[in-house]
Every structure is written in structure tokens, then in C-alpha cells.
Amino acid sequence: MVEQQALLRLYRYYVYIMSNLSRTLYAGVTNDLERRVNEHKSGIFDSFTKRYRVNRLVYFQETNDINEAIEAENRIKGISRSKKIALVEEENPSWRDLSAESEPVAAASEKTGILRRSGSE
């Protein structure tokens, strides 16, 4: 049981929303949020996020279950733009680029699983 719990902690999946200054939105899922955000920021792929300069991490949640992450991504992609905006603004009302902030602290929001960042409590 303890080994199983330790293994679960090793697997982390993230559902995230990226934006640009005009608030064009992109939702995705990844197992390495830092790498994926850097890919969006650098524009290494010829993609939607490169074309529209979607390079600001404005929302994310973490889970240990890939199926849960994929379901959450599909839910986010399936809701209206106004509901996506409300989701972001609930946790990040000023639309800060969360990737530009300091290291995450251990406490997570019980409601969404979004990791709190230093200075945002």
C-alpha cells in the first residue's frame, strides 16, 4: 500500500490553459508542465499557439490519474468561452502568467487542485 502511494506521487499530469494578451485561449494536458509551457513560449511547433502567440500559463490543475486529466481537458474544451474565462478568473483574476512566478508550495486548492504559488495566498 505504501509503495503504491509512493508510485502514485511519481506520476503527475496537468490540465492547463494558456492565453495571450488578447485572451485567446488554448487548453491542453501534459505530464511535464514546465517543458510544455516552454514549448508554447518558444513556439517550436508550427501550431495554433505559435500562430496566435498564446504563451502565458493562466490556469492549471494537477492530478495523478491520466484518465482524470484527459477528462478534465475534454470538459474544459467542451465548455463555452465565457465559462473558461470564469474558470481562469476564479483562481487567477488578474490573468498573471503563472509560469513566471516562483516555485509552487505544497498546499493545493482542494477545489481545483491548482497549486498555489509563493505570494499568491
Per-residue model confidence (pLDDT) at position 117 = 35
Q: Is residue 74 part of a domain?
A: yes
**Higher pLDDT among residues 8 and 81, named by residue:** 81
Mean pLDDT throughout 97-101?
89
Q: Is residue 5 part of a domain?
A: no
d(CA 77, CA 90): 17
Helices and strands (DSSP H and E) totals, the chain: 5, 5
Our CA angle for 80, 12, 75, nearest 5°, is 15
* Cα torsion 96, 101, 107, 113: sign: positive
Per-residue model confidence (pLDDT) at position 13 = 97
Per-residue model confidence (pLDDT) at position 45 = 85
Mean pLDDT throughout 76-84?
98
Q: Is residue 1 part of a domain?
A: no
When pLDDT is cut at 50, 70 and 90, the band that residue 121 belongs to is very low
Q: Any idea what the CATH number is for the domain that residue 46 is in?
A: 3.40.1440.10
Give CA 38 to chain center in angstroms: 13
Mean pLDDT throughout 74-102?
94
